Structure 1
Amino acid sequence: VCGDGTSMHSMELITDAGDTLTYTILDAEADMDGGITEGIVSNVEGGFMAGDKMAVTGLKTADGELVATRVINVTSLLGHWTSIDRNFMIEEGGTVHSEVKAETNPWTSWKILNGQLLLNRDTFDITSLSADSLYLENQKGIYTFKRQK
C-alpha cells in the first residue's frame, strides 16, 4: 500500500508484513550520472496515491537505494472492463468474473508477477492503465479495454 510519505519522485510502500520501503521514481528528466540508474525510467501505470495498493519491481543501487523500474497500481486495475468480445471484472483477491456467458475461454483468475498481468495462463504487459482504459499486450497482439461503470 502506498504510504503517506509518497511524493512525485518517491514512493513509500507499506508491505503486507508491515515493513516500510521507499522507492525512487525516475522520469526522463532524471539526472543521468553514469551510475546504475543511467537510462532507467520508472514505468508507472495507473498513477499512485497514498492508500492505493501497488505492485512494484525494481533494483537496488550500490549504495542501497531502491529504484522502481515498473509500478502497477492494483487499485486502478480492479474493476469492470469491456471490449468487443470481453466483459469481465477484476476483483480483489485474484478473482475474475466474466459477464459474457457464451465466452469460450473466460478468465477466472489474475495476479501480477514480475511486472506482468497473468489472466489464467495468459501473460500480458500492461502498456497503459488509466481511470477509463486498459491496454494489454502479448505475443498475439494488443488488447484495448474501457472501464464499464
Structure 2
Amino acid sequence: MKLDIARLADGKEVIFRESWDPIDYDLNVPGREHKSSLDVEAIVQRDSGIIKVKVLLRSLLCLTCSRCFKDFEQGLDKVLNFIYSVDLSEKKIELDDDIRGELILDYPQKILCKEDCKGMCPYCGADLNIEKCKCSYSV
C-alpha cells in the first residue's frame, strides 16, 4: 500500500483503502490460510514531518487446531498503529512490509479451535472432544 503523502495537509485525516490477495503477500501457510481477501484501510494524518497511520485489517482465516487437527474459521479484525518520521520532500510511504511483518508476528504459535480442546489420543487417534479413548493406554 503506497500512500501519497505529498498533498496531505497538516492535521487532516485521509483514508486509503485496498483489498489484498493474501497469496500476493505470501500470507498463506499450511494451517493458517486466508479464506477471503485482506481488506486494508489506512487512516493517515500528517503533523509536519510526522505521519501517523492507523491501519484496520479484516479477513476470514481457515486455521488448523494444534491439538485435534480440525480446520475451523476465524475472523481477523486487527488494528495496527505506525508512526513515520519523514522528510518534507518525501512524496510516498510504502506500508506493505510493515503490515505484513506485524501480521506474521501476531499470528499465534499454538492455534486452538477452543481453549479447552482435548486433542487426539496419541495412541489410537480418537478425537477426545467427541469420544472417549478406546485403547488400553490411559491418557
Would you call these one fold, judging by a TM-score over 0.5?
A: no
Greater relative contact order (Cα < 8 A, sep 6+): 2
Name the one with the larger helix percent: 2
Normalised by the size of structure 2, how large is the TM-score?
0.22
Q: Which of these two proteins has the greater Rg computed from alpha carbons?
A: 2
Normalised by the size of structure 1, how large is the TM-score?
0.21
Name the one with the larger strand percent: 1
